[in-house]
Every structure is written in structure tokens, then in C-alpha cells.
């Protein structure tokens, strides 16, 4: 008997369907409307070596703009990122994929990390609220 889906594709489709049914789209994200989605975890920021390079969205990275990289949020998504230690917040737009370091949930531009007091720490705890 031949399956209509190869085994791996079938398992992936099942897992995605199960997550959608349960209302989960990303670990640490609360289900609900986009305006209520919240994530908590570790953040870092892009180093100067990325300034001027093309991002996953095709946009050129500018360290002085308020942008960020996230593994799953759509490009153009606007989020409020709050440094949990300093309680400072910044609003950023997702324009890249990443971070590619285990345990981190967002990479901020240099300017965004500077605004919320994350430059000295390098890696810091944040809360992300998806705005639109």
C-alpha cells in the first residue's frame, strides 16, 4: 500500500496541525490574537560586522534603525521589546531571521539594544509583545 504522503512529510503535517489545533505557534508564546501574543526569553543584538549586509527579508541591515530578527514572526511584524532588568522598552520591526544561538528568542539592532540598556550585558532577559 502506497501512502499519499512520504512518512516524514506526513509526520510534519501532523505536528503542525496539532500545534495549530492547540493554539501554539512558538514555544513561550501565549495563544490568542496577535495583539495579545507575549514571549519571554533571552535577547542579544547584532554586532557591527552585520552593518550594511542584506537581511533575510532582502532589506539592508542598518544598525541605527529599530529592527530585529526573529525565527518565526512574519517580516514586518511590529513588537514591543522590554528589557526585564532595566524596564526600558523599544518598538521594533522584524526584518530578519534569527537568532541562531540556542536559548535566544530575538536579535535586536544595535540602536534597539542601546535604547533598552542591553549593550553592556550583551545577552539579556526580555519580554516581547506582538503589536501588529
- The answer to whether 84 touches 127, Cβ cutoff 8 Å, is yes
Cell of 67: 529592527
Q: Is 9 in a helix, a strand, or coil? A: helix
- The answer to whether 126 touches 84, Cβ cutoff 8 Å, is yes
**Does pTM top 0.95 for this prediction?**
no
Give the rounded distance of the alpha carbon of 55 from its chain centre. Answer: 14
Q: Is 17 in a helix, a strand, or coil? A: helix
pLDDT digits (tens, 9 = 90+) for 19-72: 333 344 444 444 455 445 899 999 999 888 899 999 999 999 999 999 999 999
pLDDT digits (tens, 9 = 90+) for 82-115: 999 999 999 999 999 999 999 999 999 999 999 9
Give the rounded distance of the alpha carbon of 95 from its chain centre. Answer: 10
- What does the DSSP assignment read for 43-72? EEE--GGGTT-B-TTSPBP-TTS-EEE-SS
Amino acid at each position: 500500500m502506497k501512502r499519499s504522503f512520504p512518512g516524514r512529510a506526513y509526520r510534519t503535517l501532523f505536528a503542525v496541525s496539532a500545534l495549530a489545533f492547540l493554539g501554539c505557534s512558538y514555544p513561550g508564546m501565549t495563544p490568542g490574537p496577535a495583539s495579545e501574543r507575549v514571549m519571554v526569553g533571552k535577547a542579544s543584538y547584532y554586532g557591527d560586522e552585520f552593518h550594511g549586509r542584506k537581511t533575510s527579508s532582502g532589506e539592508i541591515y542598518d544598525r541605527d534603525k529599530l529592527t530585529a530578527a526573529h525565527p518565526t514572526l512574519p517580516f514586518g511584524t511590529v513588537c514591543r521589546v522590554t528589557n526585564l532588568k532595566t524596564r526600558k522598552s523599544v518598538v521594533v520591526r522584524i526584518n530578519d531571521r534569527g537568532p541562531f544561538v540556542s536559548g535566544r528568542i530575538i536579535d535586536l539592532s544595535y540602536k534597539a539594544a542601546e535604547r533598552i540598556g542591553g549593550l553592556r550585558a550583551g545577552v539579556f532577559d526580555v519580554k516581547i509583545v506582538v503589536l501588529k
